[in-house]
Amino acid sequence: MSRVDQAYARLVEALRAQTDLADALHLLEWDQETVLPAGAAERRARQIGTLAAALHERRTDPAFLTLVDELAAISAELDPSQAVDVRETKWHVDRARCLDPELVRERSTLHAQARGIWVTARRDNDFAALAPWLGRVIDTERRVATAIDQRRPAYDVLLEEFEPGMSAASLDALFQELRTGLQPLVDRIQRKANRRHRGAEALCGAFPVNAQRRFNKLVADRLGFDFNKGRLDEAAHPFTTTVGDDVRITTRYDRRDLRYGLYATIHETGHALYEQGLDPGAWGTPRGSACSFGIHESQSRLWENQVGRSEAFWTHLLPAARKAFPALAGRSLGDVLLAVNDAGPSLIRTEADEITYNLHIILRFDIERSLIDGSLEVAALPQVWREKMRHYLGVEPETDRDGVLQDVHWPGGSIGYFPSYALGNVYAAQLFKAAEAEIGPLDAALAAGEFTVLLGWLRQRIHRFGQTYRPVELITLATGETPTARPLLDHLERRIAFLEST
Ligand code: ZN
């Protein structure tokens, strides 16, 4: 083995040991969110803290940092895949070493505290209680951004934590295209929402939880989720986590509405299919890790929306659904499609339909960017929120609980995270369009329950690359176009035309 290969092998070994610790953390957190008895929460928090500190120590170990620097200095001698791992590791290491350990500690304590305050502030509809904490979070994130790179706008530096290579200026252009295209569509669904259609209730009725558990497993399995290397369980807020070779998804059930659990399951299955499609030979390295939050979200949204709300998908699924739930007897395919494509402006992001969802995100992007650049004061948030809701969606929350207090992201310190949701929608539509352009219309395959055609394409174009390319480059290579909202707008236009035709 050459000296270069030996050094690279040491890097992989170090990264894999870090991944083992991260996997153990994921397992403790998964357990905490699903089955942990309440009385064990305190010690669990301590265990998570201890393990997180051990992981941080490894990631900032001087010997590890020196190894990364040495490899980066000889990157010309590395083969292309080694060079990817070194490039991405170096990028993360350089960001981390800019931060004073004191600032790192202060920041994570602040986020934990502010999250706690947020829970009660939201419950009590008390924005004033959260405001000073939010002010501290914004201030700390600005300090973090300045420490990492004081020459660039602070928001860009924060955004890159979630979407490497993306800038506020390119998001601005993309979101401008999206917003201009969405506004007339929202006007159309507003008119439509005034005369609520009959089918919207087609997936409401009696759906026993045990039957839903079996049915959701069946759906995840048919979409391609590998239960030999994964699980489906339940949690209050659905999520996906990876524990080594084992990808765990969670959902939740409503015994009166089949959509509530089913679409959470399909969404998380999309995330899991990505994780299960990463190159197993590259595990623990950047090449074996997901590209970005936006790319991850594109995988969940594509299965949830492009596939899961289509006529073809329900042509396949409805017979199995009728068998599982007597309540569906007599419900037609047309009614079910109306139920899963029901749309109309609403106050809560997580309950928004496929069309208006993106405006909820653009609103948050506008606001968080202004908070970071200092042009918006925290005290003005509730008012600005209401104005923007009225402007974008024509509805206005009566309480801050249904307004600015609804999301945990800002108190939790995740600033620059929201755009990845809309980017996911944009990328998903581009990818689905590109897949159909390459393999031909997918309706017949989806209606026959043959999901492997589409999954195979995604594995080939997205999953197997890990972080080989940055998100914009990956989307451009996979679709032949730089990120553009046009395919998403066309997709939503077809959805609205369908709703209007009923
Ligand atoms: Zn997601």
pLDDT in tens, 230-239: 999 999 899 9
Are 232 and 108 within one domain? no
Output the pLDDT for position 482: 97
pLDDT reading at 493 higher than 90? yes
- How many whole angstroms from 267 Cα to the centroid of ligand 1? 6
Q: Determine how many CB atoms are found less than 10 A away from the CB of residue 113.
A: 14
Place of tokens 């080594």: 244
160 assigned to some structural domain: no
Are 30 and 57 within one domain? yes
Are 396 and 480 within one domain? yes
418 assigned to some structural domain: yes
What is the mean predicted confidence (pLDDT) over 175-202?
A: 83
Angle at 116 between CA 353 and CA 58, to 5 degrees: 95
Q: Where are the alpha helices (DSSP H) in 379-470?
A: 381-393, 419-439, 443-447, 452-461
Are 147 and 226 within one domain? no
- How many whole angstroms from 217 Cα to the centroid of ligand 1? 18
What is the mean predicted confidence (pLDDT) over 173-195?
A: 88
- How many whole angstroms from 39 Cα to the centroid of ligand 1? 30
163 assigned to some structural domain: no
Range of the domain at 114: 3-151
- Among residues 151, 180, 199, the one where a domain terminates is 151
Are 131 and 241 within one domain? no
What is the mean predicted confidence (pLDDT) over 469-495?
A: 97
Q: Determine how many CB atoms are found less than 10 A away from the CB of residue 214.
A: 11
- Among residues 125, 151, 177, the one where a domain terminates is 151
What is the pTM for the complete model shown? 0.96
pLDDT reading at 193 higher than 70? no
Output the pLDDT for position 395: 95
Check 33, 163, 268, 304 and give the catalytic one: 268
Output the pLDDT for position 195: 56
Are 195 and 145 within one domain? no
- How many whole angstroms from 290 Cα to the centroid of ligand 1? 13
Least confident of 61-65, 193-197, 348-352: 193-197
Digit-coded pLDDT (tens) for 414-431: 999 999 999 999 999 999
Two tokens at 27? 């397992």
Output the pLDDT for position 3: 92
Digit-coded pLDDT (tens) for 270-292: 999 999 999 999 999 999 999 99
Question: What pLDDT band is residue 499 in, cutting at 50, 70 and 90?
Answer: confident
Ion ligand 1, residue ranges at CB < 5 A: 300
308 assigned to some structural domain: yes
Give me the DSSP letters along 264-319.
Answer: HHHHHHHHHHHHHHS-GGGTTSGGGS---HHHHHHHHHIIIIIITTSHHHHHHHHH
- How many whole angstroms from 489 Cα to the centroid of ligand 1? 20
156 assigned to some structural domain: no
| CA gap 242, 65 in Å, rounded | 26
Number of domains in the chain: 2
196 vs 181, residue with greater confidence: 181
Are 192 and 116 within one domain? no
Burial grade of 465 (CB within 10 A; 0-12, 13-18, 19 or more): buried
Output the pLDDT for position 191: 81
482 assigned to some structural domain: yes
157 assigned to some structural domain: no
- How many whole angstroms from 268 Cα to the centroid of ligand 1? 6
Are 120 and 263 within one domain? no
What is the mean predicted confidence (pLDDT) over 3-20?
A: 97
Output the pLDDT for position 45: 86
| CA gap 73, 24 in Å, rounded | 32
Output the pLDDT for position 42: 87
pLDDT reading at 194 higher than 70? no
112 assigned to some structural domain: yes
Catalytic (active site) residue 354: no
pLDDT reading at 367 higher than 70? yes
Are 313 and 430 within one domain? yes
Output the pLDDT for position 197: 56
| CA gap 78, 143 in Å, rounded | 35
**Secondary structure of 225-248 as H, E, C letters:** CCHHHEEEEECCCCCEEEECCEEE
Are 343 and 424 within one domain? yes
Are 474 and 373 within one domain? yes
- Check which CATH number belongs to the domain holding 370 and give it: 1.10.1370.30
Two tokens at 416? 């620059």
- How many whole angstroms from 135 Cα to the centroid of ligand 1? 27
Q: Are the C-beta atoms of residues 433 and 494 closer than 8 Å to each other?
A: no
- Among residues 151, 182, 214, the one where a domain terminates is 151
Are 122 and 29 within one domain? yes
When the pLDDT of each residue in the chain is averaged and rounded to a whole number, the result is 95
Question: What pLDDT band is residue 80 in, cutting at 50, 70 and 90?
Answer: very high
